[in-house]
Amino acid sequence: METLHLLLSGFATALQPDNLLMAAIGAFVGTLVGALPGLGPTSAIAILLPLTAVLSPTKAIIMLAGIYYGAMYGGASSAILLGIPGDAAAVATCLDGHPMAKQGRGGPALGTAAFSSFAAGTMGVIALVFFGPLFADQALKFGPPEYFALMLLALTVVIGLGGASISKALAMGFFGYLLSLIGLGTMTNMPRLTFGYAPLWGGLDVISLVIGLFAISEVLNGIEEKKVAISMGNIGSVFPTLNDLRKSAKTIVRGGTLGFFMGLLPGVSAAITTFLAYDLEKKCSKTPERFGHGAIEGVAAPESANNATSSAGFITLFALGIPGSPPLAVLLGGLMIYGLTPGPMLFQQNPDFVWAVIASMFIGNAVCLVLNLPLVGLWAKLTQVPFGILAPIILLISIVGTYTIRNDMLDVLVALIFGILGYFLKKFHWPLVPLIICFILGPMLEKSLLQSFAMAFENPFIFFQRPISLTLIVVTGVLLIISIILRRRTNSRIASSGLEEV
Amino acid sequence: MKTLLADRIAGVILFVIGGLAVFEAIRLYPLHIGRSIVGDETFIGFLGVALMILGGLFIFVFKPQGDRQAEFPTGELRKKMLLVTGLLFAYWVLLQVIGYTASTFIIGLGLFRTMSAYGWLGCTVFAAVLTMAFYGLFVMWLQSPFPEPSILLWLGR
């Protein structure tokens, strides 16, 4: 009952006209940037994050929720219309979405994607309402050793999102941890890893890293790939037919349920669940031969799984502080700008704020559907804007946006350096997401480690002597094995799809 | 196409970064508070050792994947990419020297001219529109305090 009351109060905040406007602006610009070919939702959120920096925390987070859902949907647009997946999670959508677009049925494919995303996203957010507080009830039992074990659990995400090589993922993660320690020490407050350069005492800002690695490097790659505008033919009516909806209804429920429950496991990303949902749907179908040639269920299954996994990711993000996907890692960086530190204490310490965010997710998701169905034609036209016009705009907005976060020119320099570094890392297939996740979690990991030792009088076995931390360590081991098996399976599916891993 | 044995080079870089972290941990150790076995240097030292081990594995143990060679741009494309990168760093300098509005216009013009197929006139129009739009967004709406142009200080204002 208390949960319902808090949720209603969250809706009261999120439904205020100015907050609603922020959700609409967020959804609009999120879709706009997410729909740009090859950019993907992670880059879209990274580019747009600074725009929210000057808003009040509630408005900014509401706008972020809109940007998140908009960018996720925008990513599906370029995957369907152009066959260019912005991230690995969109590869499965390409398999049938792009053939549909080629057959002049891009409209229904986009409409189905929007509807599937909305339905599964709503299911996921409803589940978040019920599951979140359950986790929160355990919050008071969490001490530093439990937090430390929780941070270890995040390593499963690093492995899960690390691409083809576990050793590369670990190396990038350790490098991310190291970067996060630049600045003043936790115990002595003395500068460390600054090598005598005083401007580094304040540490590196996560947004400058995110913008460098995901926005600037993406544009540099785009120049090299000679991205050009691609002319689309008629995309057809945006509204799916009754037959399409009938075919998709069960698919959405199956894909959404699978995506949600698999997404609750840290380390199981949307890239994995989209392919699982696609394969499940193919197995359930009486006409599996249609898959790969423009089957509407082939769009509905991965899209619903994608959005449900993202929503489930919010549970692990809010309740455990672990981002389960690249867009959520960037979103976590955004939430932390506003002093919101996800983790077990979040529901206890900031209930009003959290419930306003959850309500704004409902609204962001709904606004996305309302905006996207009529504007599908606009998103299709957007893919025809020359890259030579878009790229300078993205680069300048990235640089100015980075500056506006802390009004510090050092952040701009850091973004530029990491932009170039990101370009080379991508070239040589070094995963970027582990770096960001570990950069975000690094200070928390160190703090919980030091506090654990202090409270245990230097006993290093404290992590195995407390039930919750021991359970978390065992779960980490089990999940590591599961995520490695699933990741191998997904990599082989992506390879067999004929699309390059992104 | 060049085979750079990239993973081995990355291994060397990781080893050097790890070495620097260990060096920093050793420097920090005397600053320890009390007799605690952990301090500001503990995590840094652990990461340093881990990175050195991983670096060593990349250099000596893991075999570079021969089928994953990196292709780098050549000719005009390379020039274009270097110019774009140079313009971005120039923007960082100019923002502090001539201020936000003038630098945005100049660098915007340079980027449009380098990356798009339009002529000088078209690019000037694009750059002007972009500068005005950004001015409205960042200066008038978001009221971001951009750095004071240092050229004004040099001119004695």
Mean per-residue pLDDT over chain B, rounded: 86
User: What is the band of A163 on the pLDDT scale with cuts at 50, 70, 90?
Assistant: low
User: What is the model's pLDDT at position B1?
Assistant: 40
Reading the block at residue A277, the tokens are 């949902």
Q: How far is the C-alpha of A52 from the C-alpha of A405, rounded, in Å?
A: 9
Among the ranges given (A305-314, B8-17, B110-119), the one the predictor scored with the smallest mean pLDDT: A305-314
Contact call for A412 and B92, based on CB within 8 A:
yes
Among the ranges given (A191-195, A285-289, B86-90), the one the predictor scored with the smallest mean pLDDT: A285-289
Q: What angle do CA A14, A20, A26 make, to 5 degrees?
A: 110
List, as ranges, residues 64-103 from B with C-beta within 8 Å of A.
68, 70, 72-73, 77, 80-81, 84-85, 88-89, 91-92, 95-96, 100
List, as ranges, residues 428-447 from A with C-beta within 8 Å of B.
428-430, 445-446
Helix (H) or strand (E) holding A200: none
Q: How far is the C-alpha of A487 from the C-alpha of A272, rounded, in Å?
A: 7
Q: Does A419 touch chain B (CB under 8 A)?
A: yes
The DSSP output letter for A234 is -
Over residues B28-45, the pLDDT tens digits come to 888 776 666 778 888 999
Q: Please give the single-letter amino acid code of residue B50.
A: A
The percent of residues above 70 in pLDDT, for chain A, comes to 89
ipTM: 0.92
Residue A478 neighbours by CB under 8 Å, 6+ apart: none
Residue B61 neighbours by CB under 8 Å, 6+ apart: none
Q: Which residues of A touch B34 (CB under 8 A)?
A: none
Which is nearest to A116 in space by CA: A282, A307, A288? A307
Report the greatest alpha carbon distance in chain A: 70
Query: How many CB atoms are closer than 10 A to CB B45?
Result: 19
Among the ranges given (A64-78, A393-407, B90-104, B135-149), the one the predictor scored with the smallest mean pLDDT: A64-78
Q: How far is the C-alpha of A319 from the C-alpha of A324, rounded, in Å?
A: 12
Query: How many CB atoms are closer than 10 A to CB A282?
Result: 20
Mean pLDDT, residues A61-86: 77
A164: pLDDT strictly greater than 80: no
User: At residue A384, what are phi and psi to the nearest 5 degrees?
Assistant: -95, -5
Mean pLDDT, residues A258-281: 79
Q: How far is the C-alpha of A149 from the C-alpha of A145, rounded, in Å?
A: 6
Contact call for A391 and B58, based on CB within 8 A:
no
Helix (H) or strand (E) holding A192: strand A191-192
Reading the block at residue A391, the tokens are 């790229």
Mean pLDDT, residues A296-309: 86
User: What is the model's pLDDT at position A85?
Assistant: 67
Q: How far is the C-alpha of A369 from the C-alpha of A366, rounded, in Å?
A: 5
Mean per-residue pLDDT over chain A, rounded: 80
Over residues A179-203, the pLDDT tens digits come to 999 998 888 888 999 988 888 998 8
Q: Please give the single-letter amino acid code of residue A201.
A: W
User: What is the band of B4 on the pLDDT scale with cuts at 50, 70, 90?
Assistant: low
Structural domain boundaries in chain B: 6-61, 75-150
B157: pLDDT strictly greater than 70: no
Q: Which residues of A touch B138 (CB under 8 A)?
A: 400, 404
User: What is the model's pLDDT at position B45?
Assistant: 94
A161: pLDDT strictly greater than 60: yes
CB pairs under 8 A between A and B: 160
Contact call for B47 and A419, based on CB within 8 A:
no
Report the greatest alpha carbon distance in chain B: 70
Q: Which residues of A touch B58 (CB under 8 A)?
A: 167, 171
A230: pLDDT strictly greater than 50: no
Q: How far is the C-alpha of A63 from the C-alpha of A122, rounded, in Å?
A: 18
Pick the most confident of A123-132, A330-339, A414-423: A414-423
A494: pLDDT strictly greater than 80: no
User: What is the band of B85 on the pLDDT scale with cuts at 50, 70, 90?
Assistant: very high
Reading the block at residue A186, the tokens are 């936790």
A297 Cα to chain B: minimum distance (Å): 35
Q: Which residues of B touch A223 (CB under 8 A)?
A: 77, 80-81, 84, 115
Distances (CA, A) of A157 to A177, A317, A326, A403, A436: 14, 12, 10, 30, 12
User: What is the band of A369 on the pLDDT scale with cuts at 50, 70, 90?
Assistant: confident
A203: region left, alpha or beta (phi > 0 left; psi from -120 to 50 alpha)? left
Mean pLDDT, residues B129-133: 93
Residue with tokens 């209804």: A249
User: What is the model's pLDDT at position A502?
Assistant: 41
Which is nearest to A415 in space by CA: A154, A243, A218? A218
Among the ranges given (A193-197, A370-374, B126-130), the one the predictor scored with the smallest mean pLDDT: A370-374
The percent of residues above 90 in pLDDT, for chain A, comes to 7
Q: Does A127 touch chain B (CB under 8 A)?
A: no
Q: How far is the C-alpha of A115 from the C-alpha of A109, rounded, in Å?
A: 10
User: What is the model's pLDDT at position A179?
Assistant: 95
